[in-house]
Structure 1
Amino acid sequence: MKGFDIERLAEDEDAVSLLLIANPFSHQPRLDGLDRLVLIVKDDEVADKEIEHWMWDDARVQVRRVSREQLESWIVGSSNRGSAYWLMHGEILVDRDGYLADLRSRLLDWSPLIREQKLLSEFSRFVRGCLQAKQDLKDGQVLDAYSNVLACLHYWAHIALVEEGMHPESTVWEQMRKVNPGIYKLFEELTTSSETLEQRVQLVLLACEFSIMNKMETCCELLIRLIASRHEAWTPAELMRHPDLAGLSLELSVLLYKLVNRGCIREIAKPAPSLGNGTLELKYTSA
């Protein structure tokens, strides 16, 4: 941006990297009403002023501050789907240690770790949504079941796109119409079929459950391999602190439960003297 002192901003912010996105909200300009996005990547967590709005040469600028860990969590998760677009299409203005350039390269090339993290993250939400929808139906809450099954289809669609080496976009159903007509057909069945709402939910839920069984081992490959990487059993907290999982938004308890039932990993109970009263602590190891 003309007259914008990038170096001074980077120095004042103690930034690792700065990224400028000229049209960050091209898919929803009326919702955001902003012309530019400056993404400031920092080493430490951002305690305050995470988001600010500035006016610069008649341009409305959103300034976002984010840690490396948070940015990578956005990319592999679903909490900020625009982050992958920003990184792929933005202009790197400052990159003190080549961090953003390396992350962009890994994202564009679908590095094995990012792909596995993305699959695991989306799959955990897929499983959680499916279980919640089943519970909603059992409780007679058909509308809630519908909402959760619709969310499941979105997670399933994201998984299918990642498997094809594509990044999920905001127009995910346009992507699915071309990439996976089967999932798109289920979306149509759920939203436009003439059957009762409960019948539609039950039909799509069955398809989701079948897909979960088929995709469990491939989508959870990262977690299964991590658990098998040492002889000592893991606690859930130890798993979440591992660098390959740290920062990911995972439904870890649900995944561990499903993997144990499928026989992909083992659950072992060990005495926990610190808890007393004969309490056993559950840990997880390879099958």
Structure 2
Amino acid sequence: MEALLRPIYQERASDPDTLGIIWVEKREEVSPITDTFDSILFILTKNEEQPIFTKHYTFHNQKAALHIISEKQLRKWLLLGTNPKLVDWLLNGRVVFDRNEFVEEMRRELDDFPINGRKIRMGIEFAKLTRRYLEGKLFFEQLNYLDAYNQIVDSLHHLARLAVFENGMHPEVMVWKQVKQLDPSIYKLYDELVSSEESLEKRLELLFLASEFLIHSRTKDGAHHILEVLATKDHWTIQEIHEQEELKNYSVDLEVFIEFLIEKGFIMIEKKATKSTDIMHRYYKVEPK
């Protein structure tokens, strides 16, 4: 298959916008890393007008996918963690073209995982975790056990990814394989939830109790990034928080996360008068360290 696609990537290599080309082959019969394709041709480019471009090829009983991704889009996905297989492609794929060592530099960045990037990733993941946990707890209290189960499974996935970040690594597609080695206690919780013969109600009750402790023990680290940003000003409106460049990445989880941190005493509310005598403006602040 590579011999057939070589003219395609050679043509792309001659384009001055092309930064690097990586060849990825499936490692299992059905491979989530390659989206079930036999081969992936992963091309990184400077072109931001078309951040994502995909083509599929077939030859006899084999199939290949071509993905052309802009550097800006790649960095966004890596920051938000919304496309974990890219980490595998970058680290384990075979580099067939590398302009000015761009791919090599990206690999160094992934290996080093700078502390600021890690803080942002942990903050975003922790915000997702708190939303799923709080929604799951509400469903549980309403006796909606299946909905609660769905939310607690999601929250455990976010907890697992946090454990990977804490070890200075990037979560992979098969994150539970990583977590089994890195943090067996979280893996055991997940295993008990999905494998226990206890009633669903009992499993959920035990999981919420255990999760409460695990979330509480990680709140300071998980909130480090957002608190650091909020400490740069005396006070913020919610609109200002939404518009802050780094905090935009928290997306729909931002307001729930802020309310969670208010409840835990990390963020304070400051009230200011409006034209009405009964309604007050609500501002948010963090005491500088």
Structure 1 residue 196: deviation in Å?
A: 0.8
Query: Given the alignment of the two structures, is residue 131 of structure 1 paired with residue 105 of structure 2, yes or no?
Result: no
Q: Which residue of 1 aligns with 2:228?
A: 225
Match of 2:262 in 1: 260
Aligned partner of 2:135: which letter?
Answer: Q
Code of the aligned partner of 1:285: K
1:112 aligns with 2:125: no
1:178-212 Cα shifts (integer Å, max 9, x gaps) = 22221122122211222210110111112112222
CA spacing shift, 1:42–1:249, aligned 2, 3 Å: farther
Distance 1:174 1:18, change over 3 A: same
Does 167-176 or 240-249 show the bigger shift? 240-249
Q: Does 1:148 align with 2:151?
A: yes
Q: CA RMSD in A?
A: 3.3
Q: Distance in 1 between matches of 2:164 and 2:150?
A: 22
Contact in 1 for aligned 2:40/2:67 (Cα 8 Å): no
Asked whether the 8 Å contact 1:173–1:184 carries over to 2, the reply is yes
Give the secondary structure class of the aligned counterpart of 2:110.
Answer: helix
Indicate conservation of the 8 Å contact 2:20/2:99, yes or no: no
Counterpart check, 1:286 vs 2:286:
yes
> Does 2:198 match 1:195?
yes
Give me the whole-angstrom Cα distance separating, in 2, the residues matched to 1:194 and 1:68. Answer: 48
TM-score (normalised: structure 2): 0.81
Is the contact made by 1:73 and 1:249 (CA closer than 8 Å) also made in structure 2? no
Pair 1:6–1:139, CA change in 2 (3 A): same
Superposition pairs of residues 71-86 of structure 1, within 5 angstroms: 71-86=74-89
TM-score (structure 1 length as normaliser): 0.82
Q: Quote the sequence identity (%).
A: 26
Segments of 5+ residues of structure 1 without an aligned counterpart are none
Q: Is the 8 A contact 1:265 1:286 kept in 2?
A: yes
Alpha-carbon separation, structure 1, partners of 2:105 and 2:137: 42
Is the counterpart of residue 39 in structure 1 residue 49 in structure 2?
Answer: no
Aligned residue pair count = 282
Q: Does 1:211 align with 2:200?
A: no
After superposition, the Cα gap between the structure-2 partners of 1:10 and 1:265, relative to the gap in structure 1 and judged at 3 Å, is farther
Q: How big is each residue's C-alpha offset from its partner over 1:166-188, in whole Å with a ceiling of 9 and x where there is no partner?
A: 33223322322222221122122
Question: Aligned-pair distance for 1:97?
Answer: 7.2
CA contact (8 A) 1:17 1:93 kept: no
The residue matched to 1:194 in structure 2 has which SS? coil
Q: Contact conserved, 1:17 with 1:40, CA < 8 A, in 2?
A: yes
CA contact (8 A) 2:127 2:250 kept: no
Query: Unmatched 5+ residue regions in structure 2?
Result: none
Structure-2 separation of matches of 1:268 and 1:174: 45
